[in-house]
Chain A
């Protein structure tokens, strides 16, 4: 079945460092891909999305490109801030039923 694999956390960075969180997927067909962010004690918020190969999703300085050849959707940000500390989930929308399938999440901690 469809699945998502993320790099394990926690990831600890200094403020203004470059961020990469790796995400790869296995799916039938051409799923849509998403990054969600979860702040402590809160629900999930959509960060960005891409619906077809080579699409780049971007929001709040975060970017991710849908790479079909490598089945990847890595999250990047050029300069992280303390306020970016959260758990980040990569997800795909299955072509079979459309339900969201999540990766295991990566906790990011940004230190001043």
Chain B
């Protein structure tokens, strides 16, 4: 009974070709996060939604966009993937902005060729 589901698990895209990663949750949590994790590094927060309120990290490249059409779904759009965007992308949810734990999906491994 997975609670945060990411699709696909593995995605291969061409250099410069737009790609969308998806995340869904069955927890009815208010907050959804997107993290980028490169090999042997800590996850890096790209942005998060508190309900429909979008919060972008200051150093997130403009190439990365996100949509949250409803509580359950959130999408990460990479408009023009470069080789440096190859990474594991992690979606997570939490009940609120307070000091509650986050629940992570299994991640999508993005390869750019």
Which of under 10, 10 to 19, 20 to 34, or 35 or more describes the interface residues of A? 20 to 34
Which A residues between 12 and 41 are near B, CB-CB below 8 angstroms? 31-32, 34, 36, 41
Nearest B residue to A32 by beta-carbon distance? B99
The complex places the Cα of A72 from the Cα of B6 at a distance, in Å, of 33
Q: Is the CB of A45 within 8 A of B104?
A: yes
**Complex: chain A residue closest to B107, CB-CB:** A43
User: Which of B12-20, B36-44, B72-80 lines the interface with chain A?
Assistant: B36-44
Please measure, in the bound complex, the distance between the C-alpha atom of A98 and the C-alpha atom of B92, giving whole angstroms.
13
A20 to B: closest C-beta gap in Å: 20
Please indicate the chain A residues that have their CB under 8 angstroms from the CB of B97 in the complex. Answer: 97-98
Which 4 A-B pairs rank lowest in CB-CB distance, beginning with the nearest? A32-B99, A98-B97, A102-B42, A43-B104
B residues apposed to A, CB below 8 Å: 4, 6, 31, 33, 40-43, 45, 48, 55, 90, 92, 94, 96-107, 109
